[in-house]
Amino acid sequence: MASSNGGKYRLLAVDDDKDSTDLVVRNALRCGYECFSVYDAHSLHGIIPHWRPHVITLDLCLPDAKRFETISMLNAVQFSGDLIIISGQPDWYRREAADFALHSGLRVTADLPKPVQIAELRKMLTNIKAGLLQSLLDQYRSRPPDSPYAPKP
């Protein structure tokens, strides 16, 4: 996705854990992103349509959102960038959230466990900026179609 703000890519970090958010933002800044943080789900309604981030890092468990409500909010505000799920939830829960997001029409780049591995995060952010997402997208698209969120024939 081309940047519309003078070559800077925008990253929105969404997490109620300020330390986790700060870690993501520090590393995104080093990768050349312009960053903004929010610490609750309901702030998404105001920030996304106006600031238009290219990438969102999303914690799945926010105090003001139930289950995958935040993912539904991203659809409601027509987020069209790359979604990176970063959560301390078990692998199966992150994968289920990623499947839900994918089948909702969002572009999920990865689901990463907390604590996030800095090298992996930086590589991913660099690749997003370079447009090297195809292998990551292919990996998610190759998941078995038995997801409960897959469209029914």
| pLDDT tens digit sequence for 74-95 | 999 999 999 999 999 999 999 9
- Identify the residue with better confidence: 122 or 138: 122
> 15: closest CA among 40, 51, 34?
40
Question: Whole-angstrom Cα distance, residue 64 to residue 124?
Answer: 28
User: What share of the chain in percent tops pLDDT 90?
Assistant: 76
Q: How far does Cα 43 stand from its chain's mean position?
A: 15
Tell me 148's DSSP state: T
What pLDDT does residue 150 have? 61
- Identify the residue with better confidence: 146 or 84: 84
What pLDDT does residue 38 have? 96
CA dihedral 24, 25, 27, 30 (to 10 degrees): 170
